[in-house]
Structure 1
Amino acid sequence: MEHTLSDRQPTPFSGKPWLDRYPADVPAEIDADKFGSLLEMFEQGVSEFADLPAYSNFGKTLTYRDLDSLSRDFAAYLQQGLKLAPGERIALMMPNLLQYPVCLFGALRAGMVVVNVNPLYTARELKHQLNDAGATTIVIVENFAHTLSEVLEDTQVKQVILTRMGDHLGLVKGTLVNLVVRHIKKLVPDFTLPNAIPYQTALNQGKDLPYTRPELDGDTLAFLQYTGGTTGRSKGAMLSHRNMLANVEQCLGVYGPVLNKGQETVVTALPLYHVFALTVNGLLFFRLGAHNLLITNPRDIPGFVRELKGVDFTCITGVNTLFNALVNNADFQAHEFRSLKLTIGGGMAVQRAVAEQWQAITGSRLLEGYGLTECSPLVTVCPYDMDGYNGSIGLPVCSTEVRLVDDNDEEIHLTHTPGEMEVKGPQVMSGYWGPRDEDDNTFHDGWLRTGDIATIDEQGFLNIVDRKKDMILVSGFNVFPNEIEEVVMQHAGVLEAAAVGVSHRDSGEVVKLVVVKKPGASLDEKTLISHCRQYLTAYKVPKVIEFRDELPKTNVGKILRRELRDEAS
């Protein structure tokens, strides 16, 4: 199935044609209320799989029993040591380390709302998210503490829990790792957080404190998961316990037939602070009692591949850029893939060449999925029984309704006819955190507008053909033009600026910036990129800059980003 439309004849369809294409053992509906809360799911998992390995990182493994004990101590510390009330927001700012699942489940067990934070954020980005969420506590790895120290006084954060890379690796290895990270590799820039609480102190004190199980239900807020906004400001999608549990059950519905409880080993290279890895790797595979191999720095492909040596993994998730880097690594090509049976790609479009090369090397089909932060995130997946890549984003998952609407918001009942995709299901958020005018445009008659233009075929397979919004997708991360333009316009030499996404072989898209200089301004590409790096995460920094005398505009003066994109394609 290709993305072109010209060679297809539209035909009428009705209902949910994808249900007839589901494999026979995939249910049409799931029970979104199987568990009353994520806490209930957690308690069952640590009891059922107590002695099985849960998470491994840097050669250290925590069993489900260990996770139960450590997360209980952390929850008790939050409740009794810090006197945090249920519903308070706690930010987690760290890469994939053993500390993450301990803090994640500990916070949920304490009745907190988890606010995941990208550790690569600049001070400006971090300040906005902490203030928007009203976070009162943050757990942060010391490698990124310098960013927090710049803005802490301008936030509502009262407690900082500071952890180090080696804090769960034992006295000897942990001390060595922390020394190497700080003094040899010099990965810890100077910072000042005089009242920070050491992570180990929090756990040690929590052991001696009572823990009180909170009263939670499906409607209780579990996560504020931030996503880009069309105004350039990131917004917190309110994801309840029921939203997340529903998506876990939906994942289990579509992937469960090829997965076995207590027998899976999943490679987690995508950061758990990203909603895709959070739900699929962090929660689905917990539900299955799987062994989760955490990769802290997947950008170091040789190091990543070395960590896979001797690991007989059965599942792996990733984005196109990661899979592309792996299939082009000679040591990865030489790996034995005796047990690999499930490869899931998401976050950005999977390219045919990468999918086919992956299947040729590993023997595993690369199954593409599609999701949104606002949907916890999974909306569609390619069924596990596909022979190989077909260019689509798959079929709607169990208990999910998808429809296409035209520019007049009328539903389209023709195949191969583009329209904006709208979604309805138990995984869809209730709205954005705080007073948001955007909520008025996010939902349409109870359906979530995705902003993506798609087509559907006779079997129910969906293809993304365009984006209604101006969002740029860089290696699976959302980048919105307004934010880039706001930063660029702070430079004294810039008169006008427009940011658009342009195709890139490795990352799907990169940011292109088109700039009009102020008269007489001395401004070059290097200076502008340096300016952007002060205020933007690396993946948001423009990779292509073009200077022009003027920008294309409408008759009311609105910059025509689409025209700039079309010129660059």
Structure 2
Amino acid sequence: MPSEIDVDEFPSVVSVLENAISHYNQRPAFANMGKTLTYGEIDTLSRQFAAYLLDELKLKKGDRVAIMLPNCLQYPIATFGVLRAGLTVVNTNPMYTARELKHQLVDSGASVILVLDNFGDTVQEVVADTPVKQVITTGLGDMLGFPKGAIVNFVLKHVKKMVPDYSIPKAIRFRDTLELGRKHTLPEISISPQDIAFLQYTGGTTGVAKGAMLTHRNLVANMQQAAAWVGINVRLGEEVIITALPLYHIFALTANGLVFMKFGGLNHLITNPRDMRGFVKELKQVKFTAITGVNTLFNGLLNTPGFDEVDFSGLHLTLGGGMAVQRSVAERWKKVTGTTLVEAYGLTETSPAACINPMDLKDYNGSIGLPIPSTDACVKDEEGRILATGEVGELCIKGPQVMKGYWQRPDETAKVIDADGWLHTGDMAKMDDEGYFYIVDRKKDMILVSGFNVYPNEVEDVIALMPGVLEVAAVGVPDDKSGEVVKVVIVKKDPALTEEQVKAHAREHLTGYKHPRIVEFRKELPKTNVGKILRRELREESPGA
């Protein structure tokens, strides 16, 4: 394993794509719902979308384009189109509520949003109060060809009732943007390594989502680091990776979208991994070589009938991240698939990979692994001193994958990146004599639900809007399925306030994984002598869900 990687081999994410196109033009690149696009087709279609953005919409270098899509063929076409145009992708969770979406669009200053029809009503609700000048809409079946695409769109809207009615004046269909783009030739766009490729939104201790500025250099560096680490057994041009985690999540974006593009691999996109039976049915039809996921995904698959009948003969890489991998899940995965579930660790702010366990690991070891090439890791105390092996402190990371900073928030950036360039992760960890790192606890109050960050302040702010609530505190409690779930502890102002009213209010204002699963009412909340609510005390009192 090299201790350093060549960060300068590719000046941008676009050059990685163009390298893959030149080497693997006729090879399959992305597959979804029975339709496959080659690298050559991704080349053509992403060029068309880029030309539309530049020549029809007259966007200028650095402008932001929001993409609000699940895993479908439109995602890579649009993402690579935005990047080829010298613009910045703002990845947007399709499950956002109107409140969450409005914040992200206003904060990022996005001038365009591409949205799946299923979520068009959310965009309709807020678009007038944002800087967005053009809305692009698309149906899940739009890139699947005729007649399949038309059938998929019809069933989703009229049979499954998954596409609500919405009306956005002057919105344009995604397929029409490609047609318009065909009329133009994409000019040569100069993209520098320091240009921002993605504004990847992540919560903060304040509960306000912040955009991590991930440059082309950050993403290329992390792709090179992860590719060096996982590429030992890779067969170029032959890998098939199951992409069930959403590509708008930094883990899948880099690990699947970029690393396997460098390998000339095929990303097999799973649009709705929550439909576990459908997911297993799809896995039975694909001879795959790699899969990434979070603990809940692996656990869900293992508990779905028929999973043990899947053909695992080609599988040589299973990478788990986003949340802690549980020993029981890892051991069962090895037993069923014959492949070790290798745990990795990263953050949105590190593009994301920072530590990964060795690929030849025989069994689960409870560690997050070793720092990847060109990455330094250490454990620091409250005063910033580096601690000795075995001592617990805050895990800090330094390397070319560390973000440029938070978008338009230098004060927040200064809180997490110190004067020496160390990123303070907020995770409490220790290192053993062999250099392996172990997460002990989280310094922050952040709650981790199935690999997604939930910030207590945001949940508390929403619940506090209820007239019947006097005080509220949100904490994470252990859960076998999702790692943690959100629990809210409330002091009532209105004695008639019920648990169901609280949950209904949360459903209206928060994405699903942020919903409180447990609601507890108390006479008072534990506080410090200055009146700050002691969340840690509430956590320690909670035996678990």
With the shorter chain as reference, the TM-score category is: over 0.9
Distance in 1 between the 2:541 and 2:384 partners?
Answer: 29
Question: What corresponds to 2:289 in structure 1?
Answer: 314
Maintained 8 Å contact 1:504/1:510: yes
SS of the equivalent of 2:75 reads helix
Question: What corresponds to 1:13 in structure 2?
Answer: none
Distance in 1 between the 2:445 and 2:304 partners?
Answer: 34
Q: Which amino acid aligns with 1:41?
A: V
SS of the equivalent of 1:438 reads helix
Maintained 8 Å contact 2:116/2:140: yes
Maintained 8 Å contact 2:277/2:305: no
Structure 2 residue 390 is the aligned partner of structure 1 residue 420: no
What is the CA deviation profile of residues 540-568 of structure 1, one whole-angstrom value per residue up to 9, with x for unaligned ones?
01001110000000000000000001111
Equivalent of residue 268 in structure 1, options 220, 224, 243: 243
- 1:6-17 equivalences under 5 Å are none
**1:437 CA displacement:** 2.0
Distance in 2 between the 1:435 and 1:257 partners?
Answer: 39
Question: What corresponds to 1:295 in structure 2?
Answer: 270
Q: Which amino acid aligns with 2:427?
A: D
Structure 2 residue 508 is the aligned partner of structure 1 residue 526: no
What is the CA deviation profile of residues 94-117 of structure 1, one whole-angstrom value per residue up to 9, with x for unaligned ones?
000000000010100001100000
Structure 2 residue 405 is the aligned partner of structure 1 residue 435: no
Structure 2 residue 332 is the aligned partner of structure 1 residue 357: yes
SS of the equivalent of 2:527 reads coil
Moved over 3 A (4+): none
What is the CA deviation profile of residues 319-366 of structure 1, one whole-angstrom value per residue up to 9, with x for unaligned ones?
000100111122111112111000000000000010000000000100
- Give the structure, 1 or 2, with the largest relative contact order (CA under 8 Å, sep 6 or more): 1
Consecutive unaligned residues in structure 1, runs of 5 or more: 1-25
SS of the equivalent of 1:39 reads helix
Maintained 8 Å contact 1:512/1:544: yes
What is the CA deviation profile of residues 103-153 of structure 1, one whole-angstrom value per residue up to 9, with x for unaligned ones?
010100001100000000000000000110000001100000100100011
**1:213 CA displacement:** 2.1
Question: What corresponds to 1:548 in structure 2?
Answer: 522
Question: What corresponds to 1:535 in structure 2?
Answer: 509
Distance in 1 between the 2:393 and 2:320 partners?
Answer: 24
Maintained 8 Å contact 1:90/1:107: yes
Distance in 1 between the 2:159 and 2:188 partners?
Answer: 43
SS of the equivalent of 2:411 reads coil
Structure 2 residue 113 is the aligned partner of structure 1 residue 134: no
Q: Which amino acid aligns with 1:439?
A: T
Alignment root-mean-square deviation, CA: 0.8
**1:217 CA displacement:** 1.1
Distance in 2 between the 1:466 and 1:562 partners?
Answer: 11
SS of the equivalent of 1:444 reads coil
Question: What corresponds to 1:476 in structure 2?
Answer: 451
Distance in 2 between the 1:201 and 1:430 partners?
Answer: 35
Q: TM-score, normalised by structure 2?
A: 0.99
Equivalent of residue 232 in structure 1, options 186, 200, 207: 207
Distance in 2 between the 1:266 and 1:41 partners?
Answer: 18
What is the CA deviation profile of residues 145-200 of structure 1, one whole-angstrom value per residue up to 9, with x for unaligned ones?
10010001110000011111011111211111110111111111121212110111
Q: Which amino acid aligns with 1:119?
A: P
What is the CA deviation profile of residues 243-271 of structure 1, one whole-angstrom value per residue up to 9, with x for unaligned ones?
00000000011111121210100000000
SS of the equivalent of 1:256 reads helix
Question: What corresponds to 2:4 in structure 1?
Answer: 29
SS of the equivalent of 1:408 reads coil
- 1:554-565 equivalences under 5 Å are 554-565=528-539
Maintained 8 Å contact 2:64/2:108: yes
Distance in 1 between the 2:133 and 2:270 partners?
Answer: 31
Question: What corresponds to 1:153 in structure 2?
Answer: 128
Distance in 1 between the 2:284 and 2:361 partners?
Answer: 29
Distance in 1 between the 2:232 and 2:226 partners?
Answer: 11
Question: What corresponds to 1:283 in structure 2?
Answer: 258
Equivalent of residue 171 in structure 1, options 134, 146, 149: 146
Maintained 8 Å contact 1:109/1:213: no
- 1:62-461 equivalences under 5 Å are 62-413=37-388, 415-445=389-419, 446-461=421-436
- How many residues are treated as equivalent by the alignment? 542
Maintained 8 Å contact 1:94/1:117: yes
Distance in 2 between the 1:469 and 1:452 partners?
Answer: 7
SS of the equivalent of 1:251 reads helix
SS of the equivalent of 1:330 reads coil
Maintained 8 Å contact 2:284/2:311: no
**1:497 CA displacement:** 0.2
Distance in 2 between the 1:407 and 1:87 partners?
Answer: 38
Distance in 2 between the 1:86 and 1:484 partners?
Answer: 36
Distance in 1 between the 2:258 and 2:374 partners?
Answer: 19
Question: What corresponds to 1:9 in structure 2?
Answer: none
**1:479 CA displacement:** 0.2
Q: TM-score, normalised by structure 1?
A: 0.94
Distance in 2 between the 1:140 and 1:298 partners?
Answer: 19
Distance in 1 between the 2:495 and 2:130 partners?
Answer: 36
Greater alpha carbon shift after TM alignment, 340-349 vs 403-412: 403-412
Q: Which amino acid aligns with 1:191?
A: Y
Q: Which amino acid aligns with 1:340?
A: L
Identity fraction in percent:
55
Distance in 2 between the 1:280 and 1:341 partners?
Answer: 15
SS of the equivalent of 1:503 reads strand
What is the CA deviation profile of residues 12-40 of structure 1, one whole-angstrom value per residue up to 9, with x for unaligned ones?
xxxxxxxxxxxxxx111101111111111
Distance in 2 between the 1:335 and 1:448 partners?
Answer: 41
**1:396 CA displacement:** 0.6
**1:417 CA displacement:** 1.1
Maintained 8 Å contact 1:264/1:315: yes
**1:420 CA displacement:** 0.3
Distance in 1 between the 2:182 and 2:413 partners?
Answer: 43
Consecutive unaligned residues in structure 2, runs of 5 or more: none
What is the CA deviation profile of residues 483-525 of structure 1, one whole-angstrom value per residue up to 9, with x for unaligned ones?
000000000000000000000000000001000001x431010
Equivalent of residue 495 in structure 1, options 467, 470, 486: 470
**1:409 CA displacement:** 1.4
**1:310 CA displacement:** 2.6
**1:429 CA displacement:** 0.5
Distance in 2 between the 1:434 and 1:278 partners?
Answer: 23
